[in-house]
């Protein structure tokens, strides 16, 4: 068959998780916690399952959840949003991203992403008839972080540029945005008709007391933005695939036109349970960064005496380790070899890049119980 996505194979997450299983390895590749959501949240789901909440939810999401999302947005980012007109619950962030991309991208449009770029963006752009321009993030030297090259972005924008997709805290590098970055972005798009998608699925996993620079904080950027998030990352429940899109009314109306045909509505009892839980435990957002910062610190401490180099991640539950001191093998080959030979699965980051990135880095997920991290690190330290 003449494929619509000829360059697309199986996502690296599925490939590395399958290899990990085959080798009975410790799976630090795909980004999912080894621990469960809170028992209170699970009990709320059981409650709704047993009280008849088993039919279609409203297409944009159950009202209680949309209101809880609006309350959170106001509390954390200072923006008052309309739960009826500006919030849509999606089938994970993945469907939210797909629907937002299809809401704006037309045949011939150009979309800018930053490499390493999460791998669901480009196929959605291609299916919408657009083309993707990959701009590499600046890779850090000793005292700089991964960051957007704003001059390069300015140069890359042309008459066909329709959309820029951002993802901060950033998977896989753990980079975050500063308030100065937000100002620079606002300057660059000010006199254009470019839309923005901000993939903020790690909005609550940010370290060292930094504040998450959501595009929701900025009046100008908000007007042209779709903010996508995911409860999977926040509540240790990636398997539920429940996320959401927040966007101004005109953008939300277009988003819903796509959402109603890609998904229609999201699982009812889980939406109702998350709404209750958000209301009952607002401190969850405050505690989550601390919880994951301890995991990051633990993992970094455990690999400190290894031959890997690293800069501690600023956010997300991923840590990059640079293996340049160990081998000059390419990262895909090395990630496979590590899985087979020492039983630790990771993700090579070149698969998220159009051109090979500088250095030799693998991504390790530290959303795992301590004994799993300890065992994985002891194997990595033997190299
Ligand atoms: C940057 C990024 N965006 C989107 C997603 C997808 O989120 P969901 O599982 O809610 O579809 C992920 C999941 O790993 C991610 O890392």
Answer yes or no: is the C-beta of 167 below 6 A from any ligand 1 atom: yes
Q: What separation in Å is there between the alpha carbon of 178 and the centre of ligand 1?
A: 22
- Tokens 């610190």 sit at which residue? 297
> Do 264 and 56 meet the contact criterion of CB atoms below 8 Å apart?
yes
Nearest-angstrom CA–CA distance, 342 and 83: 49
- Would you state the pLDDT for residue 286? 86
- Would you state the pLDDT for residue 192? 98
Give the CATH fold of the 41-280 domain: 3.40.640
- Would you state the pLDDT for residue 10? 85
Question: What are the residue ranges in the chain where pLDDT is below 50?
Answer: none
Q: What separation in Å is there between the alpha carbon of 200 and the centre of ligand 1?
A: 9
Answer yes or no: is the C-beta of 91 below 6 A from any ligand 1 atom: no
- Would you state the pLDDT for residue 142? 53
> Do 326 and 308 meet the contact criterion of CB atoms below 8 Å apart?
yes
What's 12-37+284-380's CATH class?
Answer: alpha beta
Q: What is the largest CA-CA distance in the chain?
A: 58
Nearest-angstrom CA–CA distance, 99 and 204: 23
Q: Identify which of 340, 370, 319 has the alpha carbon closest to the alpha carbon of residue 23.
A: 340
Q: What separation in Å is there between the alpha carbon of 201 and the centre of ligand 1?
A: 6
- Would you state the pLDDT for residue 336? 95
- DSSP 8-state assignment for residue 216: G
Tell me the pTM. 0.97
Answer yes or no: is the C-beta of 173 below 6 A from any ligand 1 atom: no
- Would you state the pLDDT for residue 143? 53
Q: Which two tokens stand for residue 24?
A: 């009975």
- Tokens 């609550």 sit at which residue? 204
> Do 214 and 198 meet the contact criterion of CB atoms below 8 Å apart?
yes
* Every domain of the chain and the residues it spans: 12-37+284-380, 41-280
Answer yes or no: is the C-beta of 44 below 6 A from any ligand 1 atom: no
Cα distances (Å, whole numbers) of residue 31 to 25, 146, 265: 15, 20, 25
Answer yes or no: is the C-beta of 243 below 6 A from any ligand 1 atom: yes
Q: What separation in Å is there between the alpha carbon of 155 and the centre of ligand 1?
A: 29
Q: Identify which of 333, 320, 331 has the alpha carbon closest to the alpha carbon of residue 363.
A: 320
Nearest-angstrom CA–CA distance, 248 and 80: 11
Q: Do domains 12-37+284-380 and 41-280 have the same CATH topology?
A: no
Quick one: how far is CA 59 from the chain centroid?
24
């Amino acid at each position: 068959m003449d494929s619509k996505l000829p360059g697309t194979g199986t996502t690296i997450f599925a490939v590395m998780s399958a290899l990990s299983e085959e080798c009975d390895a410790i799976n630090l590749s795909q980004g999912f916690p080894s621990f469960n959501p809170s028992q209170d949240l699970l009990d709320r789901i059981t409650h709704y399952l047993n009280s008849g909440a088993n039919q279609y939810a409203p297409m944009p999401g159950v009202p209680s959840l949309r209101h809880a999302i609006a309350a959170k947005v106001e509390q954390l980012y200072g923006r008052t949003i309309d739960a009826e007109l500006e919030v849509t619950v999606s089938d994970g962030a993945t469907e939210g991203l797909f629907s937002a991309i299809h809401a704006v991208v037309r045949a011939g449009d150009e979309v800018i992403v930053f490499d390493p770029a999460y791998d669901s963006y480009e196929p959605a752009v291609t299916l919408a008839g657009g083309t993707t321009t990959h701009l590499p993030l600046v890779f850090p030297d000793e005292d700089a972080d991964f960051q957007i090259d704003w001059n390069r972005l300015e140069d890359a924008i042309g008459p066909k540029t329709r959309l820029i997709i951002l993802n901060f805290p950033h998977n896989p590098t753990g980079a975050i945005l500063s308030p100065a970055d937000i100002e620079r972005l606002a300057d660059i798009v000010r006199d254009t008709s470019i839309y923005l998608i901000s993939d903020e699925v790690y909005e609550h996993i940010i370290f060292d007391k930094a504040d998450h620079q959501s595009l929701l904080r900025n009046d100008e950027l908000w007007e042209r933005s779709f903010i996508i998030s995911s409860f999977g990352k926040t509540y240790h429940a990636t398997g539920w695939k429940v996320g959401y899109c927040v966007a101004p009314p005109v953008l939300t109306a277009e988003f819903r036109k796509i959402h109603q045909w890609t998904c229609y509505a999201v699982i009812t009892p889980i939406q109702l349970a998350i709404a209750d839980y958000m209301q009952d435990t607002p401190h969850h957002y405050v505690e989550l960064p601390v919880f994951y910062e301890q995991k990051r610190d633990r993992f970094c401490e455990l690999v400190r005496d290894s031959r890997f180099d690293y800069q501690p991640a600023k956010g997300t539950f991923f840590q990059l380790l640079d293996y340049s001191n160990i081998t000059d093998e390419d990262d895909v080959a090395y990630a496979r070899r590590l899985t087979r030979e020492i039983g630790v699965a990771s993700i090579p980051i070149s698969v998220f890049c159009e051109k090979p990135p500088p250095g030799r880095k693998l991504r390790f997920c530290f959303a795992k119980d301590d004994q799993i991290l300890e065992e994985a690190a002891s194997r990595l330290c033997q190299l």
